[in-house]
Structures are given as structure tokens and as C-alpha cells.
Amino acid sequence: MHIVHVITRLIVGGAQENTLLSCEGQHDRGHQVTLLTGPSLGPEGSLLDRARDGGYRVEVLEQMRRAILPGQDVSAYHELVRRFRQLKPDVVHTHSSKAGIIGRYAAAKANVPAIIHTIHGLAFTASASRLVNGFYRFAERRAARKCQRIVCVADAMRDQSLAAGIGKPEQYVTVYSGMNTAPFINPPVPREEIRRQLGLRMEHIAVGTIARLFHLKGHADLLDMAPDLCVRHPNLRFLWIGDGLLRPQFERRISEMGLTDRFILTGLVSPTRIPELTGAMDILVHPSRREGLARALPQGSLAGKPVVTYDIDGNREALIEGKTGFAIAPFDRAALRQMLEKLLPAARLRQQMGSAGREFALARFDTSVMVEALEKVYAGVR
């Protein structure tokens, strides 16, 4: 098949990683793959070089931007129609809301035989503005009519979309987001060496996050409970992997609380370093307020760590409650703290939950499982 993937931008993020792994896996299976993306703008880093090294065609459309820009959006639509007519793909697979809306309309206009869309997160719940959310809900309802299948990274995405009147039940299929699992099982740099580089001693218990330092990612919840937790657990250290606009604000607050020695902020790191840094943790916590299904959770499980998260969107589908981790009531900081308090002194429990989590994540989140599932989705609509 000739498969064209469309995504708004290739920043360092879960939807982008999912898309690249799909492209790479399908290319390795002998399909002709093209990736159309907008420019990678922002402090989150770029995966564009990785995409260009993948052996498949990659094109950057300057008109494709994340923000709603009517003039450029119309231009992006016409450019996609032109490229689809030239490329004559068997399948167009769009990712995320902006590229998904424009891309599905363009693919339908170009008479592409099979049009697939993946929901990585719900745009119509993302904004504080009811007007913006309402616009995306309306646009998603219309765009759903332009595709044969809607792939969700969690059942929760399907349920919320159907409740909002988007698409029909028979359009939906859940394909969990895959990842390269091998580096988490055998990280390129051993745990002891990474911890030494980070300044973590043997007795330190590292509670880690993998997320942009940005709004809605929940870092503030951890800061609120940090002073008391640090008093009660002298060996506690926080390891934050990622960068973003809020880093200066967080660093000021950490300094004001006198906890600079308790926090390790790695800044932006290459995705290839995530496995070894996750391996340096003892617990992975993900207090985000909005997700599709947070990739950090299976990453923590693959690294053999218990995971703690708010029970939002698809996060519960990334763990087995009480066996591999805990999904607690949304935004209940007292419960979040309680679960951390349970795990911090319990080395044996952490080991048991981490081992069970690794087994679970390997069966559900390996790249090969995702690519095979997508193959079946495409075959079912051609």
C-alpha cells in the first residue's frame, strides 16, 4: 500500500512518537510511506530529523500550524488536496485534531479510497473556552463523516467522542499506542550509572515524571505536596524529565521552598534517553489533567516501576489497578499523596508492581502490536 500520514507538527510528544513508529513499522513491512507535517515550532524539541532518517518520504508544509489561522488553514487544505492527487495514496491516515480535520476533508476531496483518523487526545475538552471547545466539537462531528475509521489510543476516547455526537460506533477501533520496548528492558546506560550522573545515591528514592513543563501536566500538584513529603521522607528526590514554558516558574518556586537539592530537572532530552532515565526512577507519577492515554505510564511499567496517575481519559487502560499501579480520583491531591506515601517506604511492593507492569505493558504497548493492528484496520476498509 501507499500510506500517507498527516500530522500538524513533529515536536517531542506522544502523538508524534506514535506517528513516527507507525511510519517506521509500515516502511519496514514494505509499504510506501509518506509523512506530511507542519513545521516543528516551540520549545518542546523536534523529531523531524528522526523522521527524515526513517527511509520514507517526509514533506514539511509551511501552511500547517497548530493554532487556528483561517488563511493558512485554507491554504493547507488546498496544498493537501494537491499533494494527495499527485501521490495517489491507498490510505490517508491523519493524526490529532487540526491535521485530522483539514486532512480528512482534503483526502475526501481528492477521492482517497481509505481515510483513517487517530484521536490521540480530545481537542474539544482541551480549552478553558467553551467557544473553542464548541468549535472543535462541531468540526470533529463534520470531519467524522469524511473517514471510514476512527482509531483511538484508548476506549475512553471512543466513549467520550460518541457521547459528544462524533461519528458512529462502527467507525471506532482502539489501537493502543505502541513504543519501542527493548530499550526499556535493557537500557543503553545502566541504572547505576545514570543515577550517578544525576546525583542520586543508592538510598535515594526517585519519584519521576515524563512530561512537558506546561499547563495541565500536574507538576504544581507535586510542588504543593513536596515540602511535607520531603520532611517525612528524607531520601525522596523528584526527577522531572522534560522542558517547557513553565520551567522558570517552577524553578523559582522550588528555590523559594528551599528544595533545590530535592529536585532534578533534566530539561529537554532526546527521546532515546527516556528509557535510561525512566530506569533511574523508583516510582513514576503522572498527574496530568488531560491525556489520550499517557505514554509515560507504559514507559514506567516497561522500566519496571509502579505508576501513579489521575484516573482521566484513557489512563486507567495503561495499568492494572493495585497490581501495576494506581489510578486515583481525578485531581485528588490527598489521594495522590497517599499512594506515594504507600510506595515510598515499600521497596518490595515497588518491585512486585514493577515486574507485573512490565509483563502487562509488553503485551499491550509494543510497536509490533500497534503496527499489526493498524494493518488490519487498513485492510478492513480497502
Q: Which residues pair with residue 124 across a beta bridge?
A: none
Residue 219 in grid coordinates? 507538576
Q: Is 334 exposed, middle or buried (0-12, 13-18, 19+ CB in 10 A)?
A: exposed
Spatial contact of 101 and 8, defined as CB atoms under 8 Å apart: no
Question: 10 Å Cβ neighbour count for 135?
Answer: 15
Write the DSSP string, 311-335. --TTGGGGS-BTTTEEEESTT-HHH
127 C-beta neighbours (distance < 10 Å), count: 13
Rounded alpha-carbon distances, angstroms, from residue 217 to 93, 124, 221, 240, 321: 28, 17, 9, 12, 22
250 HSE (CA, 13 A, CB side):
25
Q: Is 2-178+366-381's fold the same as 182-364's?
A: yes
pTM of the full predicted structure?
0.84
Q: What is the structure's pLDDT at 13?
A: 82
pLDDT for position 126: 65
Domain 2-178+366-381 homologous superfamily, CATH: Glycogen Phosphorylase B; (3.40.50.2000)
Measured distance CA(211)–CA(101) in Å, rounded: 26
What pLDDT shows up at residue 106?
Answer: 98
> Which CATH architecture does the domain made up of 182-364 adopt?
3-Layer(aba) Sandwich (3.40)
Per-residue pLDDT of the chain (382 residues; tens, 9 = 90+): 999 999 999 988 889 999 999 999 999 999 999 999 998 776 677 899 999 999 999 999 999 887 777 889 999 999 999 999 999 999 999 998 889 999 999 999 999 999 999 999 888 876 668 888 899 999 999 999 999 999 999 999 999 999 999 999 999 999 999 999 999 999 999 999 999 999 999 999 999 999 999 999 999 999 999 999 999 999 999 999 999 999 999 999 999 999 999 999 999 998 899 999 999 999 999 999 888 789 999 999 999 999 999 999 899 999 999 999 999 999 999 999 999 999 999 999 999 999 999 999 999 999 999 999 999 999 999 7
Which residue type sits at 251? E
**The pLDDT value given to residue 228:** 96
pLDDT reported for residue 132:
85
Instruction: Parse the chain into domains and list their residue ranges.
Output: 2-178+366-381, 182-364
Beta strand 114-119 pairing with 307-310 = unpaired
